[in-house]
Amino acid sequence: MSTTTLSSTLSSSASLRLNRNASYHSTRVVDSITSVHSFISRWDPQTSVSSGFLRATTHLHSYLLHVARSASRSAHHELIRTNFILQSAMSRLDQELKNHLMSITDAHSTPEAISTVSSIVQTMISTGYGEECLNTYQSIRRSAVTSQLTEFGFDLSTYLSKNLAKLKWDKLEIMIKSWIDAAPVAFHSIFSNERQLSDRIFVSSQESVRDAIFESIVYDTASKLLSFPELVAIHVRRSPEKLFRLLDVYDALSDILPDIKSSFKSFPASEVQQKAISSLKKLSDAVQGTLSDLEKAIRKNRVKPRVAVPGGALLPLTRYMMNYLISLSDYDHSLNAIESNMTPDPTKYNSSSFESSDNLQDSPASIRIARLLLVLVQKLESKAESYRDNSLSYLFLTNNVNYMINKVETSRLNNILGEEWVVAHMSKVRRYVEGHLRSGWASVYAALPVKEKEAVDRIQRFETIFQKVLKEREGWVVIDAAMREEIRLLVEAMVVPPYSCWYRAYQGNATVRFSPHDVAKQIAMLYEGLNSGSSSGSGSAKFLRRFGRYLRRKGTDSSVTYQIENEEAQSGKLSLQYQTRYDTGHDGELSFRYQIKRGNSVQYI
């Protein structure tokens, strides 16, 4: 509604309250003119306008309407004189209105100041100066709204450029932060207070008129505020690092959407609602696009390094992605809203890759994050193939996937993905450990003598292979202390007991370089050296408890033991099996132990 149309509506409603048929005594007219002249001649900007002057002005306007209906020549001169006096009065009232409006900050200003402004407004409207009144009111209140926004560092004149893509990210990020600070205050507080102020000042006007006045003040500002998120979503170049700012803007806009819907109901203010909804949709598209681009970048190997890291250590991509997803988990509520309209289809991938997809927490956010983790594991398995040594490949996978599990367990990702995801990936780690042991240490075990006549040749071969294996593994890394201890125990269980059996049986028939204690010490020294400098555990007991926590309880063995049965058995196929026995002897905590079978011999750890 334009100012002219709005003022006409105000004036017509006010004129209904005038008594046009009243008779005007000359004494009353003279008194009104005298009062108006007195106020104008003695006008002081620091003095509040008197109620007597407002009544005199209203009477003068009524007299003007009365004179205007007369056709006499004298009435014409009286009309000109009265109109001139009334215009002078309105000019002073308009200045009074400006002065008083400048002293009002919001609807919580002093009741006296608001009451005075309301009286001036009603007088100007009722005397036919509604357009001038609205122009003054709108001009001052629009400036007040803009000024309040500027206090939060958000300048509408500079923030609505379509060249956001050309800005450096640090500058654009500052703009985004200021918008996030300003927008909630604008819609929660500034606009709400402005509506209350309009309602109190234009209290005598119809509700539709009050709505129109409020909207005429804040509509442009609200529209510009809501244009910024749309420009950010469209023009900001997509990258994983910028995703979180997009989500921050999405969160802020989602939070103020109820206020937008309640404050901007009628047309054209309802267009503000549509702009907010449109901005949310574009932000949603930008978030989904960024996550899809990240997934594609990992799949197409556009992330560094493009070769596996030395020693099977933690891939920088793994650390980056886990820290990234932990940060992303803080936005799970927004992700659920964004992804709900575009839930990924797990059937796109092979069944083995979503081993626990049926048990994932049933939310779009959990599916999106699980899919990114799946892509990461697939990339790790692909990079593991670049190692020439299969044992190192398995160690690389053990390090990286175990790191992923630790990160999930110690963050909000655990709540999002669910326990079954952890169990499934712990199973992967157990398979990787088994592969590491089979491919890395089976040759050492196989070199042990099994017949007396082979003792001399086989023991030399064992010593050569053992030394070679130790040397090859000098640069290898096991980043988790608990995992490092666990692998050491498994290697010792594979090598030391059968070596001890042979040593006791054949040590007098050949020159033996290493005692069983030496072999165990060499293995211990090796795994003490496989330390990346960072650890996330405190020994094998903690590692075992972590794994045992996810296994069904059966049996009540009282402790974890190192056990060898039928030590003399020297033949039979070596197999590493993952069977379970449990420890309930320490405050009810369960333990997981590996079982190694060699013929009829069984060793537990």
Pairing mode of beta strands 595-598, 601-604: antiparallel
* C-beta separation of 219 from 268 below 8 A: yes
DSSP-assigned letters across all residues of 344-364? --GGGS-GGGGTTGGGS-SSH
Q: Is omega for the bond preceding 305 within 30 degrees of 0, making it cis?
A: yes
pLDDT for the residue 454: 64
pLDDT at residue 76, as a whole number: 76
Q: What is the pLDDT of residues 217-272, one digit of tens each?
A: 999 999 989 989 998 998 888 899 899 999 999 999 999 999 998 888 766 667 88
Place of tokens 């809501």: 226
pLDDT given for residue 489 in this prediction: 92
Residue 528 sits at φ, ψ, to 5 deg, of -70, -30
Asked whether the beta carbons of 469 and 391 are under 8 A apart, the reply is: no
Asked if 513 and 470 count as a contact pair (C-beta separation under 8 A), the reply is: no
* pLDDT for the residue numbered 340: 85
- 61 with 127: CB under 8 angstroms? yes
The rounded radius of gyration (Å) of the Cα atoms in the chain is: 41
pLDDT, residue 302, reads: 56
Cβ(58)–Cβ(125) under 8 Å?
Answer: no
Q: Encoding tokens for residue 535?
A: 């650890």
- Please check whether residue 582 is in contact with residue 556, taking contact to mean a CB–CB distance below 8 angstroms: yes
Cis peptide before 268 (omega within 30 of 0): yes
Counts of helices then strands in the chain (DSSP H, E): 22, 4
The span from the CA of 46 to the CA of 575, in Å, is 99
Instruction: Give the residue ranges of DSSP H helices in 410-454.
Output: 413-417, 419-446
- Residue 561's pLDDT is 29
Structure tokens belonging to residue 232: 């950010």
pLDDT at 58: 81
Tokens representing 30? 């003279």
Measure the CA–CA gap between 1 and 3, rounded to whole angstroms.
7
Burial of 63 (0-12, 13-18, 19+ CB in 10 A): buried
DSSP string, 93-144: HHHHHHHHHHT--STTS-HHHHHHHHHHHHHHHHTT-HHHHHHHHHHHHHHH
DSSP 3-state of 577: strand
Which pLDDT does position 315 carry in this prediction? Answer: 92
pLDDT profile of the chain (605 residues), mean per 10: 62 47 54 66 62 77 77 73 82 89 85 90 90 94 90 73 75 90 91 92 89 90 90 88 94 93 74 91 95 90 63 92 96 93 44 41 88 95 91 95 96 94 95 93 81 69 89 89 92 90 73 86 84 45 41 33 30 34 30 36 37
Check residue 312 and give its pLDDT. 92
Question: Cβ distance 293 to 379 under 8 Å?
Answer: no
